[in-house]
Amino acid sequence: METVAENACFGGVQGVYKHASKATGCDMTFGLFLPEDASHGPVPVLWYLSGLTCTHENAMTKAGAQAWAAEAGIALVFPDTSPRGEGVADDDAYDLGQGAGFYVNATQAPWAPHYRMWDYVTEDLPALVFKNFACDPEAQGITGHSMGGHGALTIAMSLPGRYKSVSAFSPICNPTGSDWGRKQLGAYLGDDQATWAAHDSSLLMQDAGFDGPVLIDTGTKDQFVDLLRPETLSHAMAARRQQGAFRMQTGYDHSYFFVSSFMEDHVGFHAEAMSKG
């Protein structure tokens, strides 16, 4: 593992690191904020998965999460959104290829050799983080924005017991029924739509739900709301009587202005859940 940068931040350290990933077969870069509390022992960790076109850097610099994480004494991990580099397949469209890994393990050419973001986020990167940094594997939460909200929800519901809490900012809620999903799932996983269901949070909520609290925020003026299909997840949560909250925030759009406006709520939500052991 290579240290790209480390900066003092709210009494802790905001680092950027690069490592060779077994899952993706290429070098990957991630951000990690460790609060001052980590100098005294392992701290809870919140994973933040970013959206289309983003890298590890977008949320790290725009979300305003470090101040609230420092106050709560929790670490933040900011993975990249896809494999990158020479020899990694890409597409001219912004919503497929590099920057758009969709948090799945691709099975189709030309994506399969490197696009294994599910394994990267759930196995490869956690193993590295918990081995090298003062983070507590027994106190984890996961969140994300847009494509990252989709990833956070599907991962959390598919790995019961791992995460104490899950939240999302304007998540893609029903990718099997949206152009933000059908295109990518078809490209990465193939034409058999039965394989897509495992990556649809609304369908997973119907079938299994989440074994902890859920917090969802979406803006009423989100310019992509028809692609996000928030009503599908809201209905599934209500039908299941899922513990949690689904909030439509008046006047907010899809931007990081929206994310940063409600970051305090989300960090506090996860900090409370992770403190309960």
Catalytic residue numbers read 146, 222, 254
Q: Is 89 in contact with 111 (CB distance < 8 Å)?
A: yes
**Whole-angstrom distance, CA of residue 51 vs CA of residue 96:** 12
Q: Is 87 in contact with 182 (CB distance < 8 Å)?
A: no
**Number of H-type helices and E-type strands within the chain:** 10, 9
Q: Please choose, from the candidates 158, 188, 132, 19, the residue with its C-alpha nearest in 3D space to the C-alpha of residue 142.
A: 158
Q: Is 232 in contact with 174 (CB distance < 8 Å)?
A: yes
**Whole-angstrom distance, CA of residue 236 vs CA of residue 206:** 5
E-strand spans in the chain?
2-9, 12-21, 26-34, 43-49, 75-78, 135-144, 165-169, 214-219, 244-249
Report, in angstroms and rounded to the nearest whole number, the Rg of the chain calculated over CA atoms. Answer: 17
Neighbour order of strands in the sheet with 135-144 = 2-9, 12-21, 26-34, 75-78, 43-49, 135-144, 165-169, 214-219, 244-249
